[in-house]
Amino acid sequence: ELVTQLGSKLNEDAKKGLFSGTVLVAHQGKSVFSGAYGLANRETAEPNKLTTRFRMGSMNKMFTATAIMQLVQAGKIKLDDPLGKFLTDYPNKDVASKVTIHHLLTHTGGTGDIFGPEFDSHRLQLRTLDDYIKLYGSRGLAFEPGTKWDYSNYGFILLGAVVEKVSGQSYYDYVRD
C-alpha cells in the first residue's frame, strides 16, 4: 500500500512540476520501490531515468574535503600551501599566492561564489573544473583571505582542481577510487 501511495504521490508531484528526480526505497537490503520522475533536462524535455546522473551540489563538498585530507595525510599537500603551488598557471596571481588550502576548506579564502549573471549566461558551457577556472580565475579577492567566512562553491571547485593536479587523476576518478 505504501509503495502504491508513494508512486501516486510522486507521479502527481512530477506532473505539477513539484518533483523531478529518482527515488529508491529499500527494506532490509532489498529494493522495494524505484522510479524516475519529471525531467532531466527541461530545455529538451528529456525525462529522468533510473540511470540519469545528477549533480550532487553541496553534498560533494564532503568528498572534496576527504580527498584533500587524504592527500594531506599522504604528505602531498600541506594545509598552509598556497593555491598557486598546485595551480601554477592560475590567472589571478594575488589569489594564487594568498589563498591557502586551509582557507578554501574553511570558506575563508575570499574567492567568491559561482552563482550570478556570469553563471547564468555560461552554465551550459561549464562542464569541467577548468571551465569554471577559465570563467572566474581572473576575478580578484572578495576579501583578504582568513579575515572572514563566506560560503564559497568556487573555493571547492578550486580544491577539486588541486585534487586533479596532485593525484594525476580526474577529480571524479579520484573520488570514485
Would you give the distance in Å from CA 161 to the centre of its chain? 11
Q: Among this protein's residues, is 58 annotated catalytic?
A: yes
Rounded Cα distance, 82 and 155, in Å: 13
Degrees (nearest 5) of the Cα angle 135, 138, 143?
115
Quickly list DSSP for 9-48.
HHHHHHHTTS--EEEEEEETTEEEEEEEESEEETTTTEEP
Q: Which of 148, 71, 163 is nearest to 106 (CA)?
A: 148
* DSSP tag of 86: T
Which of 20, 31, 58, 121 is labelled catalytic? 58
Active site residues: 58
